[in-house]
Structure 1
Amino acid sequence: MFEFLGNVLQGIGEALRLNPRVFEIVERYPNTNWVILMIAILGGASMLVGQSVILFVNRVRPGRFVLSLVVNGIIFATSLLIWAIAIWATGQVLFPNDISFRTVMRMVGLGATPYLFGFLVLIPYLGTFIGRVLSVWSFLVVLAGITFLANGALWPALVCVGLGYLLVTVGSATIGRPILAVRNWLFKTAAGTTFDLALDDVLDHFANEKSPPKGGR
């Protein structure tokens, strides 16, 4: 158990630094699957912790709160799986290679590492910016991993990762709407609430409470 936790912590540190050694380990040792899965689930859970104010404002019970964290982590890991499929399929079409989907999936799983700081999105005024920084950081981790698999070929890797991300984004806004609806239903069911108040509403209210009245000194 302690060895497993040590591997998780080591993987997190090396991935955040974009250390090529961590990508080499991921490629060569299939037993890193559970380590990467844990990182992905923790990343998704951390993102929800950052938005936990929604759960408290909507009066989610403690048991439901924990269940919501678990469900969000699983949903987050699933989104990474879809991104990995898009990257792998793009690479097979545009740059035929022998890289297995399982290896690509492990590299994308490492991309969840920056989201361990997801709890910081709760910071007023800076939350949205921090969320975007984490998204870019995650993209760079995945790009570094795919570049390693491509033997240092940056442009093919950038095309695959970028197009994969674009396909997922466009697909979510179009044909993926039913899937998003199911995801939202699962999350609301786990939380036991319809979420009448969203995070942006709460933060806007907080900001207005802290701002001086117009015309005041």
Structure 2
Amino acid sequence: MTQTALNRFWELVLGAIALKEEAFELIQSLPQGAIAALYIVLIAGFSQALGQGTVLFVNRVKPLRFFLSLLIGSVLFVFTVLFWGLSTWLVSFVLFKVNIPYGIIWCTLGFAYAPLILSFLVALPYLGVPIQVLLSIWTLLAFVMGLRVALDLTAWQALSCSVLGWLVFQIVQRTIGRPVAIVGKWLSNTVAGTRLVTDMQGLEQLLQAGPQMLRRDNQTNAGDRDNGEV
């Protein structure tokens, strides 16, 4: 039986979490690595959406819409990772003249997201923020390890490549990528069936005001639509 990344999925996931160099070498050599990486990113995205599900609870999102919102959050998360990978691929080419297929970067980044499978733990009271920071650093270290192996770079070159790729992604996201972010927000609100309040001050107001405030906001939005307002 031919060995593939899917056949050895959890072995590779645990190896990536443990920052094992051998795991990232196998990721590049086994078939179906890109599909396995996609599964990891989807699971990590769903876990992160689940960990942030408190926002959906506070907004009183109905059960079916709650689950659909988690799925949409997972898909949007995949696109975020795809674009970070693309910006890293461009940085590696410009700075280090590394001419490799994008798929290698995608497989490396996808498996580097393995620690974020534990993102649901950010829902823990008091521990959520430290856990989120720890998982983010863990993911960055895994990506640096993977890049070093996949691109044959030094540790500092791999770190520079990943960090600069992230910075390029952030700049693009806040400039020419704003329409995409707006569409993503609209999609999230549509699936949730309400205009989601996500900022801390707004969430505190929702908790203090109770269901009446949310119902009044939705009725106001519905009235605006009936009057042709946007």
**TM-score, with structure 2 as normaliser:** 0.80
RMSD, aligned α-carbons: 2.4
Shift in alpha-carbon separation, 1:138–1:201, aligned structure 2, 3 A: farther
User: How far is the alpha carbon of 1:201 from its aligned partner?
Assistant: 5.9
Residue identity (%): 32
Structure 2 unmatched ranges of 5 or more: 208-230
* Cα separation, 2, equivalents of 1:34 and 1:8: 10
Within 5 Å, give how 1:26-37 maps onto structure 2. 26-37=27-38
- Residue 155 of structure 1, CA deviation: 2.2
Matched with 2:101 is 100
Quick check: 1:7–1:35 contact (8 Å CA) kept in 2?
no
Task: Give 2:139's aligned residue.
Answer: 138
Please tell me the residue identity of whatever aligns with 2:59. Answer: N
1:79 maps to 80
Counterpart contact for 1:47–1:115, Cα < 8 Å:
yes
Work out the CA distance in 2 between the residues paired with 1:175 and 1:162: 20
Aligned-pair distance for 1:163? 0.5
Amino acid at match of 2:38: L
- The CA distance in 2 between the partners of 1:194 and 1:19, in whole Å, is 43
Question: Please, which runs of 5 or more residues in structure 1 have no aligned partner?
Answer: 207-217
CA deviation profile, 1:12-68 (whole Å, cap 9, x unmatched): 211100111221111112312222111100100001111112222222222212211
Q: Judge which range, 3-12 or 118-127, deviates more.
A: 3-12
For the Cα contact (< 8 Å) 1:15–1:141, is it kept in 2? yes
Q: Give the deviation of 1:182 after TM superposition.
A: 1.3
Given residue 162 of structure 1, which amino acid in structure 2 is its aligned partner? V
CA offsets per residue over residues 151-182 of structure 1, 9 Å max, x none? 25222212211100111122223332222111
Task: Find out whether 1:61 has 2:37 as its counterpart.
Answer: no
Are residues 204 and 5 of structure 1, via their aligned partners in 2, closer, same or farther at CA, if it must alter by over 3 Å?
A: farther
Aligned residues: 204
- The worse-fitting range, judged by mean Cα deviation, of 149-158 and 186-195 is 149-158
Task: Name the SS of the counterpart of 2:32 in structure 1.
Answer: helix
**CA distance, structure 2, for counterparts of residue 152 and residue 73 of structure 1:** 31
